[in-house]
Amino acid sequence: VETGARRWPLLIDPQGQGNKWIKNTEKPNGLVTVTLNMSDMVRKMENAIQFGDPVLIQDVGEEIDPILEPVLSKSFIKKGNSLCIKLGDKEVDYSPDFRLYLTSKLSNPHYTPEVSTKVTIVNFVVKEQGLEDQLLNVVVEKERFDLHEQSVTLVRKVAEGKRTILELEDTLLDLLSNADGSLLDNIELINTLNNSKITSDEVTESLKIAESTGVEIAEASALYRPVSIRAAILYFVLYDLATIDPMYQFSLDAYKDLFLLSIEKAPKSEVLEERIEHLNSYHTFAVYKYTSRGLFEAHKLLLSLQMCVRILQSDNQVDINEWQFFLRGGMVLDRSDQPPNPAPDWISELAWDNVVELEQQVPHFIGITKSFEDNPDQWEDWYRNAEPENPRAAALPGEWEPKCNELQRMLLVRSLRMDRVEKAATTYVANSLGRKYVEPPVLDLNECYGDSTPFAPLIFVLSPGVDPTANLAQLAAQKVGADRLHSVALGQGQAPVATKLIAEACVEGNWVFLANCHLMLSWLPELQKIIERFEDEQPHENFRLWLSSNPTPHFPLAILQRGLKMTTEPPKGLRANLSRLYQTCVTQASFDECRSQKKYGKLLFALTYFHAVMLERRKFRTLGINIPYDFNDTDYSVSDDVLKAYLDAYVETPWDALKYLISEANYGGRVTDEIDRRVLAGYLNQFFCEDALNVPQYPLSSLEEYYIPTESGLDVYRDYIQTLPQQDKPEAFGQHPNADISYMITDSTITLESCLALQPKTGGTGAGGVKIEDTVLGIIDDMLSQTPQPFNHEKLMKDKADDPSPLHVTLFQEVERYNILLNNMLSTLNMLKKGIKGLVVMSSDLDAIFESLANNKVPAIYLKAYPSLRPLGSWTRDLLMRLEQIEGWIENGYPRVYWLAGFTYPSCFLTAVLQTTARKNAIPIDTLSFEYSIMDAPEEKIGPQPKEGVYIKDMYLEGAGWNFDDQCLCEPNPMELIVNMPIVHFKPSDAKKKRNPAEIYQCPLYMYPVRTGSRERPSFMVFVDLKAGDGDSDFWVKRGTALLLALAT
């Protein structure tokens, strides 16, 4: 295809094997290798076209430089007897010997028709079976060199034998065609025929022997196939990781080197079965160790789980239907045929959907819904257990404990206790592969250096707030000398400096550290060429090139695949953060600078605790902070300087000035969210006060372990820090224990979604053994049957023309937006149905919708109407409820109680409510704000519409409980993450008269759980005044207490 096709070949070649083949094939012919971003690419192309040299264009992206269009389309210009071709603004003589190859490292590029019609696209992606065969040759060559030699000799003999037969046939044909007279009189011909027959018989016999020998060699080699199967599986686990993060790139060549190393280092054994077990065991952990140091902490369990499941699948120990259900969960579009929930007080709607679908999709669980109906108390005990995934701590009710294996137990955990999914997966991996696969080794720079070579860079993949420079300098001092490490912070004008340093270091054996490569992406292709020349230039054995970069999809794949990657992350936990700051930022000299030693010591500790808390609060997601800010040591050091200066300058501690400068200027300079500013201020109000100086062991949280030590002195604080717990409870941050459950649910959801992203996109089977295409067709039919026709917008406008109130304007706008959504759904679902059946071409948009439906997700194109985190089934039911509210308003007039979440733009509705009052009373709208009254009656007992404002139902309280008797905030019950609030009266009133007493908490109201929303659609609506109960406002601020209009389920 590549040498005979009419169009030039474009190889999809992520593993680089096609690239290597072209280079080897065309090297004798003077191959010219270029990339599209090389400055002299056009000049090299001109020379190659003119003199007939082959050209390889590497690392082609999804777009090709238009200057190559005449070359790709072979747009020749005839001039006399010669041909020319236009390249840029020049006409170049065209040699018929010219050949062009293009290769791309992208694994799944999308080329436009303009490109794909001008080239021959060749899929060079290695498949699992092909890689198995390659790796089998590798292991047989190392383990049974005698077999390998026989195999090579055999291949050579067979080739020579076949060539001999062909030569004999050619000789005979030549003699026959040139023979004169009678063939029987031609002695030479007769002798040649006789000799040919003898030779042919000998060759044929030797080929038979070779074939027989080949079978024996193949059978002997096949004994090592379990090793190559395992190695191929593991490579594709690594290969798929790039779907999760673009920096997770691994080359096949580097993987083969690791495989060879494993073969050399694995324990030996004369017993073949034992040797194979040693090879598999050693290489599996070598792959885990090699890969995990280049992954962020959040993805290390994902790696272990993928390795575990893929290995067990190859041994037929994982049921694909059960695994698919674990990843996707249940999806119910219509609950009309669903058995009733036997315990709605503790089984949520989503959990019951999962249980019902589990019974329907996984045959093993037939009868599970009846078990819940018959034994609700036993199931509740299991559900409320702290470790439902642990059979020793919580046995499944009745027959289900002995009936379920570990994966099947995980399906029940996934269905009912999403917060324990990560723990269950961790246990599953530990029991299947071993404990060491869930305890990733700590990054050891010395070990990474030992695994490196001068030919490949070492790449730090950065995370916020971490700088590896100090650790690298320490390693350099040990290995080559501190003066031989040369660092460059990349930025404008630094490219020549970096290039020169690398050139000198290659000769002298120095180390070069290029920091922040993401800031000079345009220069990285040039760096790639420099690195590729290392193989030819043979740098000094001590030379090393170190790079650091934030994750970015634009980092050159060739550098990532060639390099040894390491992730850097900040320490986890309050103790680790406090300890680090007191070791690195607080020295004895800096501690002694402040004259007010006793005050300074205590307030510095409070500041350090504040800094650690703000870093660690991020783990609680939205309950912790709306936007994760990159607070760093500079913020801390500047605040420390302010603290020293003000304590020395004033006899009386200037609390307000200190709190303002720290929370609003130093740390607050990074904070862009108003509610997040309240969090900073809330902590500083607690930590910076007279009591912090005067009360012995002043408490920093409700836990007795966390306080400001009474005695002063740097060593006192350092020693105290070492007594703190390794694992932090939520109370250490002012949170409720339920906050742990919330963030664990989020983490588990992210892990499952990441795992799902690594699964095959099309083909294969889904839950219940049904083809994925058939499953999606069923979903489409269900959605089409439930999706109503759009509203009659024109008729509505005419019917409501007599009442041009702001609320009706909102209604018209909502109808218009929902009509756009409905039309979009009906057209795309019908088109996708045709695409699956092969009646129309599947566009990229239809592919995206197909993937979303298959994974129980809402297609992104539908989410343009309004944001939502709901899975597809829940979103569809929610949409129908929204349309019912609009339909009821159209048919029956203004509702008594409004469901605010049912509007695509709730903020527009609230503005319309204020505008209605403003018009009615002839006052400016900007003088109005809402007052809030909590109603104590259910919806059915609520009276007529209020004279002013509206009644709002179905708002959800997160981060607190609700005392229905006293109508105030209170502590939530264990595992009570969300409370459905009573109906609230939103009443417009004079903004100037509004007061905010201390017992009132201004609770932010958000459109949906993503509290930041987006730039185009902010999630924040208004502040709703709620009674604070036993806690003050700052107490609930630190809890992250908020109201939500919509949930994620």
Q: Which residue has the tokens 């986890």?
A: 572
Torsion sign (Cα): 1002, 1008, 1011, 1016: negative
Residue 887, H or E segment: helix 872-892
Asked whether residue 314 is domain-assigned, the answer is no
CA 141 to chain centre: 38
Q: pLDDT tens digits for 885-915?
A: 999 999 999 999 999 999 999 999 999 999 9
pLDDT of residue 923: 94
Beta-ladder partners of 677: none
Residue 158 lies in domain = 145-223
Residues 6+ apart with CB under 8 A from 240: 306, 758
Q: Which of 212-216, 290-294, 309-313 has the lowest mean pLDDT?
A: 212-216
Residues 6+ apart with CB under 8 A from 381: 394
pLDDT of residue 366: 96
10 Å Cβ neighbour count for 176?
13
| CATH at 478 | 3.40.50.300
Q: What average pLDDT does this structure show over 823-831? A: 97
74 & 112 share domain:
yes
Averaged pLDDT of the chain: 92
pLDDT of residue 714: 94
Q: Count the alpha carbons within 13 Å of 490 in the hemisphere toward its beta carbon.
A: 23
Dist. CA 725–CA 129, nearest whole Å: 50
**3-state DSSP call for residue 488?**
strand
Q: What average pLDDT does this structure show over 543-554? A: 96
200 & 102 share domain:
no
466 & 534 share domain:
yes
At residue 875, does pLDDT exceed 70? yes
Asked whether residue 242 is domain-assigned, the answer is no
Structure tokens at 220: 């002997």
At residue 215, does pLDDT exceed 80? no
CA 21 to chain centre: 33
Which one-letter amino acid corresponds to residue 496? P
Q: 147 vs 498, which has greater pLDDT?
A: 498
924 & 1032 share domain:
yes
469 φ, ψ (degrees, to nearest 5): -55, -45
Three-state secondary structure of 33-74: EEECCCCCHHHHHHHHHHHCCEEEEECCCCCCCHHHHHHHCC
Closest CA to 972 of 962, 961, 982: 961
| DSSP 8-state secondary structure symbol assigned to residue 765 | B
719 & 619 share domain:
yes
Q: In what order do the strands lie in the sheet with 956-958?
A: 978-980, 956-958, 1042-1044, 1000-1006, 1020-1027
At residue 131, does pLDDT exceed 60? yes
pLDDT of residue 972: 97
Q: What average pLDDT does this structure show over 30-49? A: 90
Three-state secondary structure of 365-399: HCCHHHHHHHCHHHHHHHHHCCCCCCCCCCCCCCC
Instruction: Output helix, strand, coil percentages for the chain, rounded to the nearest 5.
Output: 55, 10, 35
At residue 480, does pLDDT exceed 90? yes
Stated length of the chain: 1049
219 & 103 share domain:
no
Which one-letter amino acid corresponds to residue 430? A
Q: pLDDT tens digits for 429-445?
A: 999 999 999 999 888 99
Dist. CA 912–CA 932, nearest whole Å: 17
Q: What average pLDDT does this structure show over 218-226? A: 87
900 & 1049 share domain:
yes
Q: pLDDT tens digits for 298-349?
A: 999 999 999 999 999 999 999 999 999 999 998 888 888 899 999 999 999 9
At residue 88, does pLDDT exceed 70? yes
Q: How far is CA 214 from CA 137, 158, 162, 217, in A?
A: 14, 10, 16, 5
Confidence of residue 592 (pLDDT cuts 50, 70, 90): very high
Domain end, chosen from 193, 223, 253, is at: 223
Q: What average pLDDT does this structure show over 615-637? A: 93
pLDDT of residue 112: 82
Dist. CA 828–CA 821, nearest whole Å: 11
76 & 112 share domain:
yes
Helices (H), 270-348: 272-292, 300-314, 320-328
Is residue 74 left, alpha or beta, with left meaning phi > 0 and alpha meaning psi from -120 to 50? left
782 & 727 share domain:
no
pLDDT of residue 336: 83
- Give the total number of structural domains in the chain: 6
Asked whether residue 478 is domain-assigned, the answer is yes
Asked whether residue 296 is domain-assigned, the answer is no
**3-state DSSP call for residue 542?**
coil
Direct distance between the N- and C-terminal alpha carbons of the chain, in angstroms, rounded to an integer: 51
Q: What average pLDDT does this structure show over 584-611? A: 95
Domain end, chosen from 714, 735, 756, is at: 735
Residues 6+ apart with CB under 8 A from 498: 488, 490, 512, 514, 523, 527
104 & 179 share domain:
no
Structure tokens at 161: 């034998």
Asked whether residue 361 is domain-assigned, the answer is no
Q: What average pLDDT does this structure show over 445-463? A: 94
Asked whether residue 923 is domain-assigned, the answer is yes
Q: pLDDT tens digits for 697-728?
A: 999 999 999 999 999 899 999 999 999 999 99
Asked whether residue 187 is domain-assigned, the answer is yes
Q: Which residue has the tokens 């885990």?
A: 288
At residue 632, does pLDDT exceed 60? yes
> Do 307 and 258 touch, CB atoms closer than 8 A?
no
pLDDT of residue 1: 59
Residues 6+ apart with CB under 8 A from 715: none
At residue 1049, does pLDDT exceed 90? no
> Do 310 and 237 touch, CB atoms closer than 8 A?
yes
Asked whether residue 905 is domain-assigned, the answer is yes
pLDDT of residue 822: 98
Q: 437 vs 568, which has greater pLDDT?
A: 437
Q: Which of 162-171, 477-486, 656-665 has the lowest mean pLDDT?
A: 162-171
Radius of gyration of the chain (CA): 35
- b/e map of 381-417 (b: 16 or more CB within 10 Å)? ebbeeeebbbeeebbbbeebeeebeebbbbbbbbbbb
Confidence of residue 183 (pLDDT cuts 50, 70, 90): low
Dist. CA 922–CA 917, nearest whole Å: 8
Confidence of residue 181 (pLDDT cuts 50, 70, 90): low
> Do 242 and 189 touch, CB atoms closer than 8 A?
no
Helices (H) and strands (E) in the chain, counts: 40, 26
Q: pLDDT tens digits for 763-808?
A: 555 545 568 899 999 999 999 999 999 999 999 998 888 888 999 9
Dist. CA 421–CA 427, nearest whole Å: 10
698 φ, ψ (degrees, to nearest 5): -60, 125
581 & 559 share domain:
no
Structure tokens at 26: 């065309």
At residue 758, does pLDDT exceed 80? yes
pLDDT of residue 185: 67
pLDDT of residue 998: 76
Q: Where are the beta strands (DSSP E) in 656-787?
A: 698-699, 707-708
At residue 2, does pLDDT exceed 70? no
| DSSP 8-state secondary structure symbol assigned to residue 76 | E
pLDDT of residue 6: 82
Q: Count the alpha carbons within 13 Å of 85 in the hemisphere toward its beta carbon.
A: 23
464 φ, ψ (degrees, to nearest 5): -55, 140
**3-state DSSP call for residue 963?**
strand
pLDDT of residue 159: 73
| DSSP 8-state secondary structure symbol assigned to residue 334 | -
Dist. CA 23–CA 8, nearest whole Å: 16
Domain end, chosen from 97, 125, 153, is at: 125
Closest CA to 137 of 212, 224, 215: 224
Q: Count the alpha carbons within 13 Å of 805 in the hemisphere toward its beta carbon.
A: 15
At residue 206, does pLDDT exceed 80? no
Q: What average pLDDT does this structure show over 605-629? A: 95
Q: What average pLDDT does this structure show over 216-241? A: 91
Q: pLDDT tens digits for 938-971?
A: 999 998 999 999 999 999 999 999 999 999 999 9
Confidence of residue 184 (pLDDT cuts 50, 70, 90): low
584 & 557 share domain:
no
Burial, 694: exposed, middle or buried (Cβ in 10 Å; 0-12, 13-18, 19+)? exposed
Q: pLDDT tens digits for 335-378?
A: 888 999 999 999 999 999 999 999 999 999 999 999 999 999 99
1004 φ, ψ (degrees, to nearest 5): -70, 140
| CATH at 699 | 1.10.8.720
Dist. CA 262–CA 444, nearest whole Å: 20
Confidence of residue 153 (pLDDT cuts 50, 70, 90): confident
At residue 172, does pLDDT exceed 80? no
946 φ, ψ (degrees, to nearest 5): -70, 155
Closest CA to 86 of 66, 65, 70: 70
What is the reported pTM? 0.88
